[in-house]
Amino acid sequence: MSSIFEGKTVLITGGTGSFGKRFITRLLKEHNPGKVIVFSRDELKQSEMAMDFTDPRMRFFIGNVRDEDRLRRAFNGVDIVIHAAALKQVPAAEYNPDECVKTNVLGAMNIVNAALDRGVSHVMALSTDKAALPCNLYGATKLASDKLFTAANNMSGAGGTKFGVVRYGNVIGSRGSVVPFFERLVKEGAKELPITDTRMTRFWITLDQGIDLVFEGLERMHGGEIFVKKIPSMNVVDLAEAIAPGIPHKIIGIRPGEKLHELMCPEDSAHQTIEFKDHFVIMPTTTSFGSNIDYTTDLKGEKGTFVAEGFEYKSNTNPDFLTVQQLRDLLGYSADKLTKSA
């Protein structure tokens, strides 16, 4: 079975980040795209990345998603767009709300318009758990972004550009995540680890699982869906114990805009949520185009069923929780490494 990427031109916004680098590595290795374009605003990161990615199919395009004209130029001849560019730091967004809106909301509008104008076939945008019932500005901008992408299918019409969204939480091990933070503190000889709240839970997703969700979502999508992968949860206290057994914890309290638990599928969207074997799909709220689409069967032929009334997919009520030992195994922590860190 041929891949959706076979011979196609693929563009990744924010392509110099953790997701972009890993996504492109796997795209070139596992699929056979005709061309891969990195679109981002940091010339230094692009220069450094170009030294590591020497495949002749690679292209690098400097630009900002805030600039619609630049996006139109970059999207010329592009078949598939992966939208990973965003301002993601919650405290920075609270302090600089206008900048976050410009990138995450207006940038999403620009992606939609440029894709429609240039006849891009598929657009998949990366979202976040924080977009589900947001309590901070970053989450609110990503909710607005999600709505823009799912509603954009109504503008493209049947046979036009397909827009979709993948939603997941913090990627373990990525820049800014808690794992490298804890590891750095242990390496520096910290006598205690800061814990926001002993009740705090998070979904656990690896970078490759997030990339799999994008690959699979592009193959499955009718257009307008939000894809949510089924993944395990973990307790932050257990994670600290897995990384640094025996080191005391210091409770520092939840930061402004931070949630106690992660939410992927809110209860208010239960009537739009379909459960498949390894993922959920949240249907678009409006389907003025092709309103006869049956979202319970995707384009791979997989079948799902609507969830029960009142259903929500939340990290603290998730039936799949990781133990301390499972966390250590997933992190690749040997007994020898744990002894040396103690």
Tens of pLDDT along 146-198? 999 999 999 987 789 999 999 998 787 666 677 888 888 888 888 889 999 99
Catalytic residue among 8, 88, 130, 147: 130
130 is catalytic: yes
- What is the spatial distance between Cα 183 and Cα 189, in angstroms, rounded to a whole number? 10
Please give the Cα distance from 51 to 331 (Å, whole number). 28
The model's pTM is 0.92
Q: Which domains does the chain have, with CATH numbers?
A: 9-169+206-230+264-312 (3.40.50.720)
List, for residues 280-306, the tens digit of each pLDDT value. 999 998 876 556 889 999 999 999 999
Cα–Cα distance measured from residue 252 to residue 230, given in angstroms and rounded to the nearest whole number: 30
Q: Counting beta carbons within 10 angstroms of the beta carbon of residue 2, is it exposed (0 to 12), middle (13 to 18) or buried (19 or more)?
A: exposed
How far separated are the first and last CA of the chain, in Å rounded? 50
Mean pLDDT of the chain: 91
**Of 269, 31, 310, the residue nearest 150 (C-alpha):** 269
